[in-house]
Amino acid sequence: MVDRSTDISQPLESLNDNEQLKARSRHLRGHIAEGLAVSATGAVPGDDPLLMKFHGIYQQDDRDLRAERRQRFLEPLYQFMVRMRIPGGQLTTAQWQGIDALAHRYAERGIRITTRQTVQLHGVRKWHLRKLMQGIRDIGLDTIAACGDDSRGVVCGANPYQSDVHRRVAALARATSNRLIPKTGAYKEIWYEDKAPADANEEPVYGDLYLPRKFKVGFAIPPVNDIDVYGQDLGFSAVVRDGQLLGFNVCVGGGMGQLDTREDSYPRLAEDIGFIPADEAPAFAETVMCIQRDFGDRKDRHRSRFKYTLDRLGTPWFLAELEQRWGKPLAALEPLEYLSNGDRLGWHQGDDGLWHATLYIESGRVEGPLRSQLEAFFQHYGGEVRLTTNQNLQLINIGEYEREQVAWRLADLDLDWRLEPDTQAAHTLSCVALPTCGLAMAEAERYTPDLLAVIDQLKHQHGVAASPITLRITGCPNGCARPYLAEIALTGRAPGLYNLYLGGSFHGDRLAELYATNVDEAGFIELLDPLLERFANQRRDGEHFGDFLIRKRLLDDKPLTIRSA
The catalytic residues are 83, 152, 214, 216, 431, 437, 476, 480
Least Å distance, CB 4 to ligand SRM, is 22
Residue from the set 251, 385, 471, 480 that interacts with ligand SF4 by CB under 6 A: 480
Question: Can you tell me the distance from the alpha carbon of 411 to that of 555, in angstroms, rounded to the nearest whole number?
Answer: 44
Judged by CB, which is closer to ligand SRM: 247, or 267?
267
Residue from the set 221, 322, 437, 451 that interacts with ligand SF4 by CB under 6 A: 437
By CB under 6 A, which span of 72-80, 214-222, 373-381, 470-478 interacts with ligand SF4? Answer: 470-478
CA angle 287-293-296, nearest 5°? Answer: 120
Question: Can you tell me the distance from the alpha carbon of 501 to that of 473, in angstroms, rounded to the nearest whole number?
Answer: 10
The count of residues interacting with ligand SF4 (CB under 6 A) is: 13
Using alpha carbons, select from 83, 265, 88, 288 the residue that is nearest to residue 174.
88
3-state secondary structure of 256: coil
Q: Which residue is nearest to ligand SRM (CB)?
A: 257
Residue 42 and residue 78 in contact, taking contact as beta carbons nearer than 8 Å: yes
Least Å distance, CB 152 to ligand SF4, is 13
Largest CA distance in the chain: 70
Question: Can you tell me the distance from the alpha carbon of 310 to that of 122, in angstroms, rounded to the nearest whole number?
Answer: 35
Check residue 398 for interaction with ligand SF4 (CB under 6 A).
no
Least Å distance, CB 440 to ligand SF4, is 4
Question: Can you tell me the distance from the alpha carbon of 112 to that of 365, in angstroms, rounded to the nearest whole number?
Answer: 5
**DSSP symbol at 47:** T
Residue from the set 86, 113, 156, 432 that interacts with ligand SF4 by CB under 6 A: 432
Residue from the set 439, 453, 494, 522 that interacts with ligand SF4 by CB under 6 A: 439
**153 contacts which partner out of ligand SRM, ligand SF4, none, CB within 5 to 8 A by kind?**
ligand SRM
**474 contacts which partner out of ligand SRM, ligand SF4, none, CB within 5 to 8 A by kind?**
ligand SF4
Question: Can you tell me the distance from the alpha carbon of 140 to that of 259, in angstroms, rounded to the nearest whole number?
Answer: 37
Using alpha carbons, select from 144, 157, 150, 170 the residue that is nearest to residue 83.
144
Which residues, in sequence order, are CB contacts of 361 under 8 Å at separation 6+? 113, 370, 391, 392, 393, 418
Question: Can you tell me the distance from the alpha carbon of 253 to that of 270, in angstroms, rounded to the nearest whole number?
Answer: 5
User: Would you tell me which residues interact with ligand SRM (CB under 6 A)?
Assistant: 58, 60, 81, 83, 114-116, 118, 120, 146, 152-153, 216, 231, 255-257, 305, 364, 431-432, 436-439, 478-482
Question: Can you tell me the distance from the alpha carbon of 456 to that of 423, in angstroms, rounded to the nearest whole number?
Answer: 9
User: Which x/- pattern, by CB under 6 A, does the window 442-461 give for ligand SF4?
Assistant: --x-----------------
Check residue 476 for interaction with ligand SF4 (CB under 6 A).
yes
Contacting positions for ligand SF4 (CB under 6 A)? 431-433, 437, 439-440, 444, 474-476, 478-480
